[in-house]
Amino acid sequence: MTQAPRSQAPSHQAAPPLAADARTVRDPAAQAQTARDPAAGGGGGAPAGAPDAATPTAEGSSAAGSNDAAASAAAEPGGRLSAAAPAALGLAALLGLPALLEGSPFYLEILALVFLWGAMAGAWNIVSGYAGKFSLGHAAFFGLGAYASSILYARGGVSPWLGIPVGMALSVALAAFIGLVTLRLKGKYMALCTIAFVSLMEILAVHFRDLTGGSEGLMVPYEPGLANLTFANDHEKLVWAYVFAALALGVFLLCRRLERSPLGYRLAALREDEDAAEALGVNTLAVKLTSFGLSAALTSLGGSLYAQYMLWIEPQYVLSMELSTQFALFAIIGGVGSAVGPFLGAGLMFPLLTLSRSAFPGLPPGFNMLVYGLALIVAVLFFPKGLIALGPPLRRLARLIGRTGRARLGRRPAAGETAAGLNAAEGPAGSSHA
């Protein structure tokens, strides 16, 4: 299908500090370029920031997950304390890592995209994780957002700041339509049906070439300025890393909030048993459409930002099955139905893919899908709950180490401490969809 996505991170890197050159790299012809950072294969250090960034909130479990509200409430006093350290750490990583990496644009770009893809997996997770409505159609919203703001800007001179909300509104409308058609369907049927919409959108984008630029893609004008959401060369990547970090943080906090809200409970009820939810007064159609719309709006926002970041979009990528799969995969690998999971998944998978691409430049275009497939199988077989399932044992271990440390110092842990800790360690249950 397309080569662009796989080479994006590396291709930026191909013309490191000179953003003007990077523009030319965005030329479709140059997209097939693969990375050639010799050091790339070695270091996995950079992306570790993303998991860190997300970790603080792994503490405590969501009411909407399988854990019980009272238990987490009971764990709250202790939980607050122990959550403070990772929270601070995560925030520091979010703010500090991009700055640290400024000298190496290759890693900075990976980091920025980890934030973006984490946010997108998080948005997907709202409807497919919390509500259990499995969508493989989210590229439709990503692409719609990207095209809406870019077309308005490139063809009509409308600032992306206005194009973004327009794209989001269109995506919500599209989500309502897709939702009414597909949300009644169960599991795999819904997934299959949503795929169709992505293909349909791609066909439309290719067909209306006067508007969209057709299959060659659409170039977004390069006119630096905050009003155009385009940044001048010198600190461009750093700024975008922060923009995507903010997006990631926003999605993450929204999901955390959602988990503890009535809507979060309703989503969980929907996921567990739709008929029972309805019989208990949950307006299941409204809840489904709300979560789908919210998810679509966030995905659309990500698409618009991505277009401004790349200054070039092509239908074969922004409206591809591959992208749709990627949203789902990152969330599933990290842990579906939890706020932090999608970021863990993106933080692990995206750097892994990008680095292996740059280490082995000869990899065929289908390589990503192969890795996605294998990773999905491994995840489903061995980590049905995703990486977040590793959280509780790690926390228990940390507590154990802490306790032995204290014991050596001759202090005993307070009685409540361990009890609450064990409760909290139950961990939120993700639902596995495979």
Partner 1 sequence: MLEIDNVTMRFGGLKAVKDVSLTVAAGDLAGLIGPNGAGKTTLFNVVCGQLRPSAGRVLFEGRDVTGWKPHRSIRLGLGRTFQITRPFGRLSLLDNVVIGAMCREKSLDRARQAALGRLAQVGLADRAQDTAQNLPLGLRKKLELARILATRPRMLLLDEVMGGLGPREIEEMSRTISQIHGEGVSIVLIEHVMPAVMSLCQRIAVINHGELIAVGSPQDIRADRRVIKAYLGESVAGDSPGGQGSAAASQTAAQAAAQATTASSATEA
Q: How many C-beta neighbours within 10 Å does residue 297 have? A: 21
CB of 270 to partner 1, least distance (A): 9
Stretch that binds partner 1, among 39-47, 111-119, 177-185, 283-291 (CB under 8 A): 283-291
Q: How many C-beta neighbours within 10 Å does residue 14 have? A: 19
Distance CA 275, CA 257 (A): 25
Binding test (CB under 8 A) with partner 1, winner from 33, 338, 429, 433: 429
Give whichever of 390 and 422 is closer to partner 1, judged by the CB atom.
Answer: 422
CB of 153 to partner 1, least distance (A): 42
CB of 276 to partner 1, least distance (A): 4
Least Cα distance to 135 among 169, 172, 185, 171 occurs for: 185
CB of 287 to partner 1, least distance (A): 10
> What Cα–Cα distance (Å) separates residue 137 from each residue in 105, 168, 201, 303, 342?
32, 15, 10, 14, 17
Binding test (CB under 8 A) with partner 1, winner from 67, 149, 212, 299: 67
Task: Identify residues 260-279 at the interface with partner 1 (CB under 8 A).
Answer: 260-262, 265-266, 268-269, 272-273, 275-279
Token pair of 252, please?
Answer: 């993450």
Give the x/- contact pattern for partner 1 in 284-303, rule: CB under 8 A.
Answer: xx------------------
Stretch that binds partner 1, among 29-37, 115-123, 192-200, 423-431 (CB under 8 A): 423-431
Least Cα distance to 153 among 232, 253, 221 occurs for: 221
Give whichever of 313 and 331 is closer to partner 1, judged by the CB atom.
Answer: 331
Per CB under 8 A, does 418 bind partner 1? Answer: no
The dihedral formed by the CA atoms of 367, 370, 371 and 374, expressed in degrees to the nearest 10 = -170
Task: Identify residues 143-202 at the interface with partner 1 (CB under 8 A).
Answer: none
Give whichever of 69 and 95 is closer to partner 1, judged by the CB atom.
Answer: 69
Give whichever of 47 and 129 is closer to partner 1, judged by the CB atom.
Answer: 129
Binding test (CB under 8 A) with partner 1, winner from 156, 281, 362, 364: 281
Helix (H, G, I), strand (E, B) or coil at 157: coil
DSSP state of 55: G
Q: Which backbone phi and psi does 219 adopt, to 5 degrees?
A: -90, 130
The percent of the chain in helix, strand and coil, each rounded to the nearest 5, is: 75, 0, 25
Give whichever of 110 and 277 is closer to partner 1, judged by the CB atom.
Answer: 277
CB of 32 to partner 1, least distance (A): 45
Per CB under 8 A, does 21 bind partner 1? Answer: no
Stretch that binds partner 1, among 68-76, 144-152, 174-182, 237-245 (CB under 8 A): 68-76
Token pair of 40, please?
Answer: 């790339």
CB of 385 to partner 1, least distance (A): 11
> What Cα–Cα distance (Å) separates residue 27 from each residue in 24, 35, 373?
5, 16, 30
Give whichever of 62 and 316 is closer to partner 1, judged by the CB atom.
Answer: 62
Least Cα distance to 251 among 114, 363, 406, 383 occurs for: 114
Give whichever of 21 and 272 is closer to partner 1, judged by the CB atom.
Answer: 272
The dihedral formed by the CA atoms of 1, 247, 178 and 6, expressed in degrees to the nearest 10 = 10
Give whichever of 102 and 278 is closer to partner 1, judged by the CB atom.
Answer: 278
Binding test (CB under 8 A) with partner 1, winner from 296, 297, 431, 433: 431
Number of residues forming the site for partner 1 (CB under 8 A):
32
DSSP state of 67: S
∠ CA(218), CA(316), CA(170), 5° rounding? 65
Q: How many C-beta neighbours within 10 Å does residue 156 have? A: 9
Per CB under 8 A, does 68 bind partner 1? Answer: yes
CB of 107 to partner 1, least distance (A): 38
The residues that touch partner 1, with contacts defined as CB under 8 A, are 63-71, 260-262, 265-266, 268-269, 272-273, 275-285, 423, 429, 431
